[in-house]
Structure 1
Amino acid sequence: MKRIILLIAIIFSVVSAKAQFGVGGGGSSIVGKISGSVVDSISKKALDYGTITLFRGTSKTPVTGILTDDKGTFQLDNIHPGIYRLEISFVGYPTKIIRGIETTPSKPDKNLGVVVVGQSTKSLNEVTVTASAPLIENRIDKIVYNAEKDVTAGGGSATDILQKVPLVNVDINGNVSLRGDANVRVLINGRPSGATSASLADVLKGIPADQIKSVEVITSPSAKYDAEGSAGIINIITKQKNISGISGGISGGVGTRQNNGNFNLNYNKNRFNLTVNVGGNASWPQTSNTYQSTQIDTGSFHSFKESKGTSKVSRHAIVGSVSAGYEFNAFNSLNSTIRLNQIEFNTNSNSVTTGANPFSLNSVAHAIPASGFDWNVDYVHKFKKEGEELDLSTQWSHSIGNTEYTNYYTAVNPNQKNKIDGTNNEYTVQADYVLPINNTFKLESGAKYIIRRINTINDIYSPSGNDFVFNSLASSTYGYNQNVGAAYSVLTINLPKSYSILAGLRDEYTTIDGNPNSLSQKNVPFTQDYNTLVPSLTFQKKLTATQTIKLGYSKRITRPSLQFLNPYVDSTNILAQKVGNPKLNPEVSQTVELGYNTFIGASVINLSAYYKHTSGLIEGIATPVSVTVNGIQQGATLTTFQNIGNNNSFGGSFFGSITPFKILTIQGSINAYTYKPDPAGVFNLAQSQNGTYVQYGGFMRGTLTLPKDFVIESFAFGSSARRTIQGTNPAFSIFGMGFKKQFDNKKYSLGVNIIQPFSNYKEFNSNITSRGLTQVSRFQYPFRSFGLTFSYNFGKLSFKPQNPMEKKKGINNDDLKQDDQGMGGGGAGAGAGGR
């Protein structure tokens, strides 16, 4: 009932604000289209690739421009109501001028029909104007990485892209962190995906890099964004085309480590648009080397073991999407997208453990950690007032996870077979309203409700002769429900002397209930609910036309997901067990950030300093335990997730892009921050790291653009080891370079990518030290790879270039402007099936 009252209150606040400020009238945000076809006056043949330029009234400044296609047709999109003149230019023809073209809000479209152009003996000089977005854009509220400009991305995955984005770190397992904080919210086209809640790392590895248009990094989200994710938001924008005509492309890569392919087809006719995209990747089987030593000394029990082995993994993934949209008129539009995905891998591991009771282990696993769909329907209504808009959105995310593994032991443990099936359904309804009150004030309000339903079946099979039989005593089921109701308001104030303020407040109310069921482990159902107020405040001052300074405050929460709350002990590895904690509270972080941004010619510099306080910090705490197997006492560890206390962190980041020569661009970024935990209560006993530690990550890239569409690029990035109160997680670094040659006016391209050419393996070391426990782990993964990339674009279409006067023969796809509302739920809906 409280949530319903909250939603009603938001709606009434919007209506009240509208009445109070007397909105209505003003400009119009309605847009339409002007179309037609151009033919020769004598031959009646179509004039292909003629220049169409649109001007408002008698203005000498063009509004937009396109080229005619091979049939002489053209279509100018996003035209506001008004009176225009059209100029048609073609080599060998005089300029044709059509005046008095009028569009209105009620009739925003104008079809000029067939336009006849007479021949001339005087030829016109061809003018080519080119413009393209830089690889990295440093905007006031975010950093945008334009992945489609990345030469070395061909044949890779979303993981490879994120490794190059400023302030973002990706470790060897594909886990994503932002400025060192792993509690980051990852969205796809401004929305959460049910698949990412099940296995984010695997989903990112399954998205071909060729499907990604750009990546947005938002370190201080306003109240209009979900409060989930203490570090901020990473929004992956895919290539959803909105063009006139039919076009498409095929791209991919073949390499020594993985293979990648992608196909897209785009259709636009009148007010209807359709986009189809399918892609996937498959890795060759990769063999890694593993080592781990564990020493346990509790006073009453002492154990030392060493384990060495290899693990061979093969993986493949398929992702696809279908998007369709229709503009009923200039006021109303409807769009729907369904995104499908499936990630699958096979693992075969062998290890030998030595110590007082040596044994060997062969583990065979087959897993589909994420398979399902995200289906959303969006309705947008634009009002007559310029910028006033109402968005209604719904989304259904469905994913399943299946994991089946079998452990074959010698000498010590009985063999074991385990099958885990999980289902995750997430339903979201959201409304967002934007009201520009006047030139000084803009109000944004909205409400959202999320329903998550997760069910897990964990079947255990015990050995019986040469086979396995179902063990009902050891098996279990787990139901997890979460509901989140939210409402927000954000006020933007533009003040004199280039000052502006962004102030917002968000309220989120969360309810959780879990229902574990097992014959052997007695766990009672549990419930939890909490309300979180999330304020945000940003002050901004534009110092000059090229310099901006910003001071911001934001609050974020991180809800514990299913694997953190599951009360069942995971005995997949009986010597390294794990268990969740249903009593976990969410992490709450508060950040104050001061940022400075400047443009010096073609160079960009961004500096920021920040302080972040995190309460309820969640970490996995490993404790020594002893287990008895076949009557023999063994040393083991049990890892439990806990709210261990607080952490205060000071950090700073730098990003720069310079162009010392016209053909050379150098970009780099570095982020450094402190880790100083303050464990509470008994967790002081687990702390072995009690100093103040500086952690960092960085990236550098150089791009050389040579004549004849030849591009050379190299990059390097790395991050320091990440601390916990018990030890360190591995550091990571990598180097790569790429070459690309484009043909036929950039319609085709061929390239070569080289990753880590000087060594085959990368080594990752970690350690845990606590009272009675010392553990060292080493992992060697084959990283060196060589690959060929290719792309081919096809289609005949008209487009809207970034420069209104741009004339360029060939294909230039105009991507849809992506939603920046950050619609999404929370990360607590973790699907089952992960190990």
Structure 2
Amino acid sequence: MKLHLRLLFILTTLSFYSYAQVKPACSIRGKIIDLAAALPVPAAVLSLYAADSELVLLTTVSDEQGNFRFQALKPGVYKLRVSYVGFSPLFVKGIILGEKSLEKDLGALKISADQNSLAEVSITAVKPVVEMTADMITYNVNQSILGEGSTATDILKNVPMVQVDIDGNATIAGKRSTRVFIDGKPSDYMTSNIADLLNVLPSDAIEKIEVMTNPPVKYSADGEGILNIVLKKGFKIGFNGNAGITTGLQGNTNTNTNASYKAKSYSINGSAAYRTGIYKSSGQSFRENYFPDTTFYYDQHNQGRSRSSGGNFRSGLNWDIDTKQNLRVSVSYNKNNNKGNSGTIFNYLDQYKNLSRIRDQQNENQGSNYNLFFNTDYELKIDSNGQKLSVGLSLSRNASKDFRLLDRKYIFPQYANPVLQENNNNIGNKVLNLNLDYDKPLFNKRDQLELGIQYNYRKNDNDLLVQNFDFQQQQYLINMALTSRFLYTEHILGGYASYSYKKNGWGIKTGIRSELTSVNFDLSTGGSYALKPYLSLFPNFSVSRFFRKRYTIGASYSMRINRPRENSLNPQINNNDPLNIYFGNPGLSPSYTHQMDISFGVFGEKWSFTPRLSYSTARGVIERYRTVAPNGVSQSTYDNVGTNNSLALFLTGNYRPGKKVSLNTNMSVIRSDYTSLLNSTLNRNGFSFRAAGGLSLQLPFKTAFESNLTYSSNLNAQGRTQGSLNTSFAARKLFFDNRLNIRISGTDPFGRRNNTLYNEGANFRLNSYSSSNTSNLSLSINYRFTKVRKNPAPPATSVK
């Protein structure tokens, strides 16, 4: 009996000891991609090793979508070898698994066609902030600490080739018209003011930003380039989320939270963000007005302050109905409010620059806008070879209200001619988008055929009510000369076909897109316009070659269109500044642009360098054009100003001397030549310039530092806008197993952001200077919470 008890005690002790030694199971997953064609690679062989051994521990193969997974791994450091017939082997080193990192997602691993002259390629598991391909620049937001606790507007300021103006509008350098997409869908269909949307979209919801100078034919042909903001969709099995708050010395705050739950066949996610901000600005402009019989001058000084707030709410569902069907649904809501006041002093100077009159204007404004967006996508996998059919539907409704009170009077030589004016502007948009896409791999998935049709409907209602106070009757009376209602309706039916080829390092893609456009708009003051439906064809071609495992060269061509839309067509007069009024031009015609790019890339173990040469020629260029009437009032409107030929050189480089240091830089030099029949002053040429540099450091004690500097100077049809040097930095410290993130960031610590405008016309010269309170220091606190369980997957094959 005692013997049995002793045996039982020993076995129990050993069991508890063995149990205590069991460590949590870990896993590694990722996706294999063909570098040249950007397509999944099925049946690639993956071999897993211990970091300090050449003995294979496990092997597996990628599925038809290129995905792979190793499961039930012990904590430790591993390396991975990827091999596929006709492609160079790829090594991924430094894969660390442990209690703090149970599951390692390596993301997209790109393999290239085999070139026998050089050794195998090695990469690390760290994804770079900036990735370059022949036709796209990708900025990985989650690899940049400057992007944490911020908004989409802040992130875009650090993306290569992207410029963000003082109003928050983002454009691609050298492109007159840039469209911003969210998950491949135009954001200007989601809101009437893109800057408002970007200013409340939290960075934690963004996975990456894609800069496309020659977008594929799958995308709308509008604009000379596309900025595509890709939101996060992939989440680990289980419950994940984070919450954070940012506050700054300038009175800015930003709170955000997001959470997701992923089960075997579905995932749900939601996010919310709320931000506040204070905006201060000042400016001065000096205009020389010269006519045959006289010359006089305007010296104008501005001061402004406004407070804004806004929220962003988003929820989504991703459901794998079965192995062949997937349904995605998302709903988002944005809300913005603003309130402010400003003052302007107008100094009237005679031909001898003596002060003759002074007029003072005080403005009060308040406004709000909202946007409700619904999107759903259904995908059907027709077979196991990658043939699939997808259907998408998007509905959007947004509205804005803007109220302004203008109080102006002459204060020198005496108080005289007081004017009180109220402007009420209500804008509403309704949008419907439908798309049907078909993809079919051909020739053992070497080639890819893509077909699709799209329909876009947009309706805009702009109602402007202007009232002036009658001091005799002591009441507001409608100003019929300025009050009007503008109704705009647009239908675009598009179709595309694309074919891509890849073999032995070559990647070729060609396609064509056709769009049938119908537009009509009406004015309450009289006048109905209907553009005759017109059909446009947009060819697209790109070729790339990856060779010797470190060089890539590519060329692309596309044709694009810049359609005049409601903002440029609407002839309603804005006289908030009575000496500088502006209005749209209902007589505008579409502008077509031919674009060609040649890119070259060379990649070393610690560095990369990618120059890109771009040429474009545009006819009927749409730009804002300023004239001055004999009474001295400047009138700005849009016009097809003429022809523009542009030659641009873009240089992008990255250097990583070690795993903890990264340097990146990008520069663009653009030569533009304008030719116009409107006015001889529009026949001008010159250079635009932009340069940016960044430093990223991984420091001891879970600390990181990052900084960026940018400078830009841009030419337009009537002059030049020159900006000052803008700087930003951020330092981050991690606590509690990397769950708590504390970050200090600063923007423009050496001074306010300044902009200078030089403008010239047939009878005027204008120098304008503005400054805004971008100098700021912010503190961010972010906490990540997660509860992860294992994701069932086919076991890897053990190699003995």
Q: TM-score scaled by structure 1?
A: 0.79
Q: In the alignment, what sits opposite 2:489?
A: 481
Distance 1:548 1:60, change over 3 A: closer
Amino acid at match of 2:656: T
The answer (yes or no) to whether the contact 1:194–1:398 under 8 Å persists in 2 is: no
SS at match of 1:203: helix
Matching residue within 746, 769, 786 for 1:778: 769
Q: In the alignment, what sits opposite 2:389?
A: 390
Matching residue within 648, 655, 675 for 2:645: 648
The Cα shift of 1:638 comes to 0.9
Q: In the alignment, what sits opposite 2:521?
A: 514
Q: In the alignment, what sits opposite 1:769?
A: 760
The answer (yes or no) to whether the contact 1:617–1:646 under 8 Å persists in 2 is: yes
Q: In the alignment, what sits opposite 2:663?
A: 666
The Cα shift of 1:300 comes to 4.9
SS at match of 2:197: helix
Q: In the alignment, what sits opposite 1:789?
A: 780
Give, in whole Å, the separation in 2 of the partners of 1:306 and 1:660. 53
Amino acid at match of 2:505: S
Q: In the alignment, what sits opposite 1:684?
A: 679
Question: Which consecutive residues of structure 1, in runs of 5 or more, have no partner in the other structure?
Answer: 1-39, 64-75, 93-123, 627-633, 806-835
- The answer on 1:502 being equivalent to 2:509 is yes
SS at match of 2:193: helix
Give, in whole Å, the separation in 2 of the partners of 1:543 and 1:153. 34
SS at match of 2:522: strand
Matching residue within 632, 637, 658 for 1:635: 632
Distance 1:559 1:573, change over 3 A: same
Matching residue within 718, 732, 738 for 2:730: 738
Give, in whole Å, the separation in 2 of the partners of 1:51 and 1:85. 11
The Cα shift of 1:251 comes to 2.0
The Cα shift of 1:527 comes to 2.9
- The answer on 1:728 being equivalent to 2:736 is no
Q: In the alignment, what sits opposite 2:439?
A: 434
The Cα shift of 1:154 comes to 2.9
Give, in whole Å, the separation in 2 of the partners of 1:448 and 1:377. 15
Distance 1:794 1:472, change over 3 A: same
Instruction: Please give the per-residue CA displacement for 1:637-689, whole angstroms capped at 9, x wherever unaligned.
Output: 1112110111111111111111123321101111111111011x2x23342x6
Matching residue within 25, 31, 39 for 1:50: 25
- The answer on 1:586 being equivalent to 2:586 is no
Give, in whole Å, the separation in 2 of the partners of 1:617 and 1:81. 43
Q: Could you say what the CA RMSD is over the residues aligned between the two structures, in angstroms?
A: 3.2
Amino acid at match of 2:668: N
Amino acid at match of 2:679: N
The answer (yes or no) to whether the contact 2:463–2:485 under 8 Å persists in 1 is: yes
SS at match of 1:160: helix
Q: TM-score scaled by structure 2?
A: 0.82
Instruction: Please give the per-residue CA displacement for 1:10-53, whole angstroms capped at 9, x wherever unaligned.
Output: xxxxxxxxxxxxxxxxxxxxxxxxxxxxxx98799997732357
Q: In the alignment, what sits opposite 2:152?
A: 158
Distance 1:343 1:635, change over 3 A: same
Amino acid at match of 2:618: T
The Cα shift of 1:554 comes to 0.9
Give, in whole Å, the separation in 1 of the partners of 2:65 and 2:601. 36
Amino acid at match of 1:486: G
Amino acid at match of 1:324: L
Q: In the alignment, what sits opposite 1:35?
A: none
Give, in whole Å, the separation in 2 of the partners of 1:127 and 1:476. 62
Distance 1:780 1:90, change over 3 A: closer
Q: In the alignment, what sits opposite 2:372?
A: 373
Give, in whole Å, the separation in 2 of the partners of 1:517 and 1:303. 37
Give, in whole Å, the separation in 2 of the partners of 1:79 and 1:222. 27
Greater CA deviation, 188-197 or 422-431? Answer: 188-197
Q: In the alignment, what sits opposite 1:822?
A: none
The Cα shift of 1:380 comes to 0.3
SS at match of 1:161: helix
Amino acid at match of 2:429: N
- The answer on 1:423 being equivalent to 2:422 is no
Give, in whole Å, the separation in 2 of the partners of 1:53 and 1:575. 65
SS at match of 1:740: strand
The answer (yes or no) to whether the contact 1:223–1:489 under 8 Å persists in 2 is: yes
Count matched residues. 699
Amino acid at match of 2:299: E
Distance 1:576 1:90, change over 3 A: closer
SS at match of 2:357: coil
Amino acid at match of 1:535: P
The Cα shift of 1:77 comes to 14
The Cα shift of 1:194 comes to 4.3
Matching residue within 292, 310, 318 for 2:285: 292
SS at match of 1:148: helix
The aligned runs of 1:84-99 (5 Å cut-off) are 88=72
The aligned runs of 1:489-638 (5 Å cut-off) are 489-495=497-503, 497-518=504-525, 522-626=526-630, 634-638=631-635
Give, in whole Å, the separation in 2 of the partners of 1:60 and 1:132. 19
The answer (yes or no) to whether the contact 1:185–1:229 under 8 Å persists in 2 is: yes
Matching residue within 270, 274, 281 for 1:276: 270
Amino acid at match of 2:626: A
The Cα shift of 1:526 comes to 3.8
Identity, % of aligned positions? 21
- The answer on 1:61 being equivalent to 2:61 is no
The aligned runs of 1:140-159 (5 Å cut-off) are 140-159=134-153
Instruction: Please give the per-residue CA displacement for 1:552-574, whole angstroms capped at 9, x wherever unaligned.
Output: 11111111121110123222322
The Cα shift of 1:216 comes to 0.9
- The answer on 1:169 being equivalent to 2:163 is yes
Give, in whole Å, the separation in 1 of the partners of 2:585 and 2:69. 68
Question: Which consecutive residues of structure 2, in runs of 5 or more, have no partner in the other structure?
Answer: 1-13, 31-41, 50-59, 77-98, 107-124, 349-355, 411-416
Q: In the alignment, what sits opposite 1:309?
A: 302
Distance 1:127 1:172, change over 3 A: closer
Instruction: Please give the per-residue CA displacement for 1:354-398, whole angstroms capped at 9, x wherever unaligned.
Output: 213321000011122x41111111100012242211110010111
The Cα shift of 1:342 comes to 1.6
Amino acid at match of 2:336: I
Give, in whole Å, the separation in 1 of the partners of 2:151 and 2:345. 34
The Cα shift of 1:435 comes to 0.7
Distance 1:750 1:330, change over 3 A: same
The answer (yes or no) to whether the contact 2:408–2:420 under 8 Å persists in 1 is: yes
The Cα shift of 1:703 comes to 0.9
Distance 1:252 1:81, change over 3 A: closer
- The answer on 1:262 being equivalent to 2:256 is yes
Q: Could you say which structure has the greater relative contact order, defined with CA pairs below 8 angstroms and 6 or more residues apart?
A: 1
Amino acid at match of 2:636: T
Give, in whole Å, the separation in 1 of the partners of 2:460 and 2:102. 59
Instruction: Please give the per-residue CA displacement for 1:337-364, whole angstroms capped at 9, x wherever unaligned.
Output: 1111122222200111121332100001
Q: In the alignment, what sits opposite 2:353?
A: none
Amino acid at match of 2:448: K
